[in-house]
Amino acid sequence: MSKTAGDGPHILIYPYPAPGHVIPLLDLTHLLLTRGLTVTVLVTPTYAPLLEPLLSSHPSLFHPTLGSPLPPKPPLLPIFPSSLKYAPRVNSMTLIFNWFRSQPTPPVAIISDFFLGWTHHLASELGVPRVVFWPSCAFQSSISNCMWRDLPKRDDPDDDNSPISFPNIPNSPIFPWWQMSFLYREYREGDPDWEFYRNSMLANVVSWGVVFNSFTELERVYIDHLKKEMGHDRVWTVGPLVLPDDDLMRHSKRGGPSAVPTQDVMTWLDAKAKDSVVYVCFADQENVAIVEGLADRVEGRGFVIKGWAPQVAILNHRAVGVFVTHCGWNSALEGLSTGVMMLTWPINADQFTNAMLLVDQLGVAIRAYEGGDRIVPDSAELSRLLAQSVGRDEAGEIPSQGAP
């Protein structure tokens, strides 16, 4: 745990240990600290280095001797079913409970990731409110709440294209089965571990409040829907949690050290014409075999980063005109905030939901490909779309059609 000492109310921050969850919640933590709150952050040792920007910005940060109640490096989401095996142990949380009771000024609230829904019960036992943090959009939360409550089934258990509809959600979205969350597709009704997970997700709906890394003007219809669904107005948007574009140093450290020096990337971009570069990024946990040998093939006209990239700094550069994104919500917000044209290539998890919101409902992105990780896109069609996007006019007009 790490804590800042301040005069304001004491808040316990508990992110889920995965980069796309930890980073935006630490961005929110930074905002809370700048407003004088006292904050304690619970992280696993693997992600402790991500606290370094907070340590630099808030020198009063210190580390009391309290070990993490989670395994040192719990399994990542792609193998989530096996990570459920430690769920009952996490649920007990004796360590947190004892720490909480030992504090002269214990936290007055818990802000925890939506994957940690069981902390609702911990907060109730401690007598404090629990606020759910969604690093994803309100549209995704609406889908998730409905999905885990109603358990919709596909008509044909052997048809991966069988449609799953959500008629009680605004715009009545429909997804083919294969685009549903892999956690939901793997769910086994009656299995104790899976029922624990389902109940944890349902606990998000009854928690005291909820915070989204989004903004009301983007998702008003879903914010209003969630307020109605939860029966109160304690539904807040605090996004986009993206740093100011002139803060290059924090950009380069956000999420950990870049796989290549940030200045090397900036120098390479400086030599390129305005809006002439296509930035392609796949998630940190995706299969990136596609880049094998790519550095040699694009030598002199491309720059390949294998590992963490200073994405916000890259997107803010004048040379970048197109962003091919897997549609993780953090990336989507960074693309929106920097005004770079986005071409969507969702692969798994909530990415298909995000792509539907961006392309079909908001019209702020173009669908490049939607085959997930099952099929390789047609290279000629993808090349055509990229060339057309880079060559758009100054008014920012976008192509009317994307690749199928």
User: Are 302 and 227 in the same domain?
Assistant: no
User: Are 278 and 214 in the same domain?
Assistant: no
User: Are 205 and 306 in the same domain?
Assistant: no
91 found inside a domain: yes
404 found inside a domain: no
CATH of the domain at 270: 3.40.50.2000
**What is the number of alpha carbons within 13 Å of residue 6 lying toward its C-beta?**
19
User: Are 262 and 302 in the same domain?
Assistant: yes
Count, residues in the chain: 404
Per-residue burial over 292-306, b if 16 or more Cβ lie within 10 Å, else e, is eeeeeeeeeeebebe
pLDDT of amino acid 87: 46
Identify which of 361, 365, 362, 322 has the alpha carbon closest to the alpha carbon of residue 346.
365
186 found inside a domain: yes
For tokens 């693997």, the residue is 46
Asked whether the CA dihedral 318, 321, 326, 331 is positive or negative, the reply is positive
User: Are 74 and 146 in the same domain?
Assistant: yes
User: Are 297 and 368 in the same domain?
Assistant: yes
Asked whether the CA dihedral 93, 95, 97, 100 is positive or negative, the reply is negative
37 found inside a domain: yes
Domain boundary among the residues 188, 217, 237 is at 237
Can you give the pLDDT of all 404 residues of the chain as single tens digits?
Answer: 555 555 678 899 998 888 889 889 998 988 888 888 888 888 877 777 788 777 777 766 433 334 444 444 433 333 344 444 444 445 457 778 888 888 888 999 999 999 999 899 999 999 999 999 999 999 999 999 999 999 999 999 999 999 999 999 999 999 999 999 989 999 999 988 889 889 999 999 999 999 999 999 999 999 999 999 999 999 999 989 876 555 555 555 565 566 678 888 999 999 999 998 999 987 655 555 556 666 666 667 788 887 778 888 899 999 999 999 999 999 999 999 989 999 998 988 899 999 999 999 999 999 888 875 556 677 777 777 777 777 554 434 444 444 33
| Cis bond before residue 257 (omega within 30° of 0) | no
User: Are 23 and 153 in the same domain?
Assistant: yes
User: Are 222 and 91 in the same domain?
Assistant: yes
Alpha helices by DSSP H, listed for 182-254, are: 182-186, 192-206, 216-230, 248-253
Domains of the chain: total: 2
User: Are 195 and 54 in the same domain?
Assistant: yes
Alpha carbon distance 261, 167 (integer Å): 48
243 found inside a domain: no
Burial of residue 143 (number of CB atoms within 10 Å: 0-12, 13-18, 19+):
buried
Domain boundary among the residues 237, 266, 291 is at 237
User: Are 82 and 161 in the same domain?
Assistant: yes
Q: Can you point out the beta strands (E) in 15-166?
A: 38-41, 109-113, 130-134, 163-165
User: Are 337 and 224 in the same domain?
Assistant: no
For tokens 């050290």, the residue is 257
Domain of 104 in residue numbering reads as 2-237
The H or E element containing residue 320 is strand 320-325
pLDDT of amino acid 376: 67
User: Are 204 and 262 in the same domain?
Assistant: no
| Residue 366 near residue 385, CB atoms below 8 Å | yes
Domain boundary among the residues 191, 207, 237 is at 237
400 found inside a domain: no
